[in-house]
């Protein structure tokens, strides 16, 4: 049997099958942050999260960027250390304290790697930091 004559039909079916529903793509994109930088939530991201009933900064991070919350093992002490949390560059403790920060008050949320956090905020930020800017 000559299968070559079916090749255009198979190709057309395969291409049509690769398309996706626009409405499902839109609903997925509405629930995810749109900022390009994986270390930043913009004001638009924050407002979209509020529309998804996210009420505080910690809840937003847990939902969209849980990797920001990972503790690290400090080699010389053998203990786990959580990332630090800052509001307007004032330290408030570790990231667990961000549960007290209403999302409505935030305008920008940034994650700093350990090296960035130590350079910008001090050497005691061994696990990085989450910095929240407010209105």
- What integer pLDDT is reported at residue 36 of this predicted model? 83
What is the model's pTM?
A: 0.75
- What integer pLDDT is reported at residue 8 of this predicted model? 53
Distance CA 93, CA 71 (A): 14
Asked if 84 and 91 touch (Cβ cutoff 8 Å), the reply is yes
- What integer pLDDT is reported at residue 27 of this predicted model? 39
In the chain, what are the domains?
32-134 (2.170.130.10)
Question: pLDDT by residue for the chain (135 residues), tens digit each?
Answer: 554 554 554 444 444 444 444 343 433 344 566 678 999 999 999 999 999 999 999 999 999 999 999 999 988 889 999 999 999 999 999 999 999 999 999 999 999 999 999 999 999 999 999 999 998
């Amino acid at each position: 049997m000559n299968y070559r004559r079916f090749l255009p039909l198979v190709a057309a079916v395969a291409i049509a099958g690769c398309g996706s529903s626009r409405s499902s793509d839109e609903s997925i994109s509405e629930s995810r942050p749109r900022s390009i930088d994986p270390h930043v939530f913009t004001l638009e991201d924050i407002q979209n999260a509020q529309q998804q009933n996210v009420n505080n900064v910690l809840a937003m991070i847990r939902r969209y960027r849980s990797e920001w919350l990972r503790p690290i093992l400090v080699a010389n002490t053998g203990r786990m250390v959580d990332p630090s949390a800052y509001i307007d560059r004032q330290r408030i403790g570790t990231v667990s304290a961000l549960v007290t920060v209403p999302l409505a008050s935030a305008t920008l949320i940034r994650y700093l790697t350990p090296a960035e956090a130590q350079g910008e905020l001090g050497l005691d930020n061994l696990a990085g930091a989450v910095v929240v800017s407010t209105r």
